[in-house]
Chains A and B, each alone.
Chain A
Amino acid sequence: MRQITKDFPGVRANDAVDFKVAQGEIHGLLGENGAGKSVLMGILYGLYQPTSGEIFIHGRAVAIRSPAEAIALKIGMVHQHFMLISNMTVAENIVLGFEPDGYFWNRKEIAQRVAQFAAEAKLPINPEETVGQLSVGAQQRVEILKVLYRQAQILILDEPTAVLTPQETEALFRAMRALRDQGKTIIFIAHKLKEVLSICDRITVLCRGKLVGTEDAGATDESKLAEMMVGTKVVPATRIGEATIGDRVLEVKDLTADGERGERALEGLSFELRAGEILGIAGVEGNGQTELVEVLTGLRRPTGGKVFLSEADLSGITPRTALDYGIRHIPEDKRKRGIIPGFSVKENLILGDHCRPPFKGRFSWLMERVIRRFADKRIEEFQIQTPSRDTPIDSLSGGNQQRLIVGRVYGHQKRPTLLIAAQPTCGLDVQATRYVRQKLIELSDQGAAVLLVSADLDEVMAISDRILVIHNGRLHEASKRPSRQELGLLMIGGREDE
Chain B
Amino acid sequence: MTKEETGRGDRPTAIENQGSRLIKRAIRPLVAIRPEITAICAGFLVGAIVVWVTGHPVVETFYHLFRGAFGSRIAIGMTLTRATPIIFTGLAVAIAFKCGLFNIGAEGQLQVGAFAAAWVGIALPPMPPVIHISLAFAAGAAAGLLWAVVPAVLKVTRGAHEVVTTMMLAHVGILLASYLVTGPFKDPGPVPQTEWIASTAQLTRLLPPTQLSTALFVALLCAIAVYLFLWKTSPGYAIRAAGLNPKAAEAGGVPVARSIMLALLLSGALAGLGGAGEILGVFHRFIDGFSPGYGWTGIGVALVGRMHPLGVILAAVLFGALRAGGGTVARAVGVPLDITVVIQGTIILFIAAQRMTEFLWERRRKK
B234 neighbours in A (Cβ, 8 Å): 354-355, 359-360, 364-366
A343 touches B244 (CB 8 A): yes
Interface: A437 (CB within 8 A): no
CB distance from B290 to the nearest CB of A (A): 36
* A342-B306 Cα distance, complex, nearest whole Å: 14
**Residues 326-356 of chain A, each 1 if its beta carbon lies under 8 Å from chain B, else 0:** 0001010000111111110001000110110
With beta carbons under 8 angstroms apart, the residue of A322, A336, A341 that contacts B244 is A341
CB distance from A176 to the nearest CB of B (A): 29
B248 touches A339 (CB 8 A): yes
CB distance from A478 to the nearest CB of B (A): 29
Interface: A424 (CB within 8 A): no
B253 touches A352 (CB 8 A): yes
Given A323-B253, A329-B251, A341-B245 contact (CB < 8 Å): yes
Interface: B345 (CB within 8 A): no
Given A320-B255, A364-B234, A337-B244 contact (CB < 8 Å): no
CB distance from A94 to the nearest CB of B (A): 26
A241 neighbours in B (Cβ, 8 Å): none
* A336-B250 Cα distance, complex, nearest whole Å: 11
A368 neighbours in B (Cβ, 8 Å): 232
Q: Which of B62-70, B235-243, B271-279 contacts A (4 or more CB under 8 A)?
A: B235-243
* A322-B255 Cα distance, complex, nearest whole Å: 12
Given A319-B253, A366-B237, A336-B232 contact (CB < 8 Å): no
With beta carbons under 8 angstroms apart, the residue of B235, B244, B254, B365 that contacts A9 is B365
A337 neighbours in B (Cβ, 8 Å): 247-248, 251
- Output the nearest chain B residue to A331 by Cβ-Cβ distance: B251
Q: What is the size, in residues, of chain B's interface with A at 8 Å between Cβ atoms?
A: 21
A351 neighbours in B (Cβ, 8 Å): 241, 248-249, 252-254
CB distance from A6 to the nearest CB of B (A): 13
B238 touches A319 (CB 8 A): no
* A347-B249 Cα distance, complex, nearest whole Å: 12
Q: B220-238: which residues lie under 8 A (CB-CB) from chain A?
A: 232-235, 237-238
Most buried by A among B235, B237, B244, B249: B237
* A322-B253 Cα distance, complex, nearest whole Å: 8
CB distance from A412 to the nearest CB of B (A): 13
Q: B60-98: which residues lie under 8 A (CB-CB) from chain A?
A: none
A354 touches B255 (CB 8 A): no
* A222-B62 Cα distance, complex, nearest whole Å: 75
* A8-B366 Cα distance, complex, nearest whole Å: 9
B367 neighbours in A (Cβ, 8 Å): 47
B247 touches A365 (CB 8 A): no
B253 touches A339 (CB 8 A): no
Interface: A299 (CB within 8 A): yes
* A255-B248 Cα distance, complex, nearest whole Å: 24
A366 touches B248 (CB 8 A): no
B247 touches A355 (CB 8 A): no
Most buried by A among B235, B237, B241, B253: B253
**Residues 262-277 of chain A, each 1 if its beta carbon lies under 8 Å from chain B, else 0:** 0000000000000000
CB distance from A93 to the nearest CB of B (A): 24
Main secondary structure of the interface of B (DSSP, over half): helix
A366 touches B232 (CB 8 A): yes
A341 neighbours in B (Cβ, 8 Å): 244-245
B241 touches A340 (CB 8 A): yes
Interface: A363 (CB within 8 A): yes
Interface: A400 (CB within 8 A): no
* A354-B235 Cα distance, complex, nearest whole Å: 9
Q: B184-222: which residues lie under 8 A (CB-CB) from chain A?
A: none
B248 touches A336 (CB 8 A): yes
* A338-B240 Cα distance, complex, nearest whole Å: 15
Interface: A165 (CB within 8 A): no
* A247-B24 Cα distance, complex, nearest whole Å: 60
With beta carbons under 8 angstroms apart, the residue of A8, A329, A336 that contacts B247 is A336
B233 neighbours in A (Cβ, 8 Å): 363-366
- Output the nearest chain B residue to A337 by Cβ-Cβ distance: B251
B250 neighbours in A (Cβ, 8 Å): 299, 319
B237 touches A354 (CB 8 A): yes
CB distance from B157 to the nearest CB of A (A): 16
A329 neighbours in B (Cβ, 8 Å): 251
CB distance from A341 to the nearest CB of B (A): 6
- Output the nearest chain A residue to B231 by Cβ-Cβ distance: A366
* A360-B238 Cα distance, complex, nearest whole Å: 12
* A365-B244 Cα distance, complex, nearest whole Å: 21
Interface: A423 (CB within 8 A): no
CB distance from B247 to the nearest CB of A (A): 5
A340 touches B253 (CB 8 A): no
CB distance from A178 to the nearest CB of B (A): 34
**Residues 249-288 of chain B, each 1 if its beta carbon lies under 8 Å from chain A, else 0:** 1111111000000000000000000000000000000000
* A364-B233 Cα distance, complex, nearest whole Å: 5
* A340-B252 Cα distance, complex, nearest whole Å: 10
* A331-B248 Cα distance, complex, nearest whole Å: 9
Interface: A318 (CB within 8 A): yes
A343 touches B240 (CB 8 A): yes
CB distance from B367 to the nearest CB of A (A): 8
With beta carbons under 8 angstroms apart, the residue of B232, B235, B248, B255 that contacts A340 is B248
CB distance from A421 to the nearest CB of B (A): 13
CB distance from B260 to the nearest CB of A (A): 15
- Output the nearest chain A residue to B251 by Cβ-Cβ distance: A337
A336 neighbours in B (Cβ, 8 Å): 245, 247-248
CB distance from B132 to the nearest CB of A (A): 28
**Residues 193-211 of chain A, each 1 if its beta carbon lies under 8 Å from chain B, else 0:** 0000000000000000000
A364 neighbours in B (Cβ, 8 Å): 233-235
* A338-B249 Cα distance, complex, nearest whole Å: 8
CB distance from B280 to the nearest CB of A (A): 28
CB distance from B360 to the nearest CB of A (A): 16
- Output the nearest chain B residue to A338 by Cβ-Cβ distance: B248
Given A339-B245, A340-B245, A365-B232 contact (CB < 8 Å): yes
CB distance from A419 to the nearest CB of B (A): 14
* A323-B240 Cα distance, complex, nearest whole Å: 20
* A410-B292 Cα distance, complex, nearest whole Å: 54
Given A9-B365, A355-B234, A355-B238, A340-B249 contact (CB < 8 Å): yes
Offer 14 A-B interface pairs, CB within 8 angstroms, sorted by A.
A297-B251, A299-B251, A323-B252, A329-B251, A340-B252, A351-B254, A354-B237, A355-B234, A355-B253, A363-B233, A365-B232, A365-B233, A365-B234, A366-B233
Q: Contact residues of A with B, CB < 8 Å?
A: 8-9, 47, 297, 299, 318-320, 322-323, 329, 331, 336-343, 347, 351-352, 354-355, 359-360, 363-366, 368
Nearest 9 pairs of A and B residues by beta carbon: A351-B252, A320-B253, A323-B253, A352-B252, A364-B234, A360-B234, A337-B251, A342-B244, A364-B233
4 new A-B contacts at CB < 8 Å, known A9-B365, A323-B252, A355-B238 = A318-B255, A341-B245, A354-B241, A355-B253
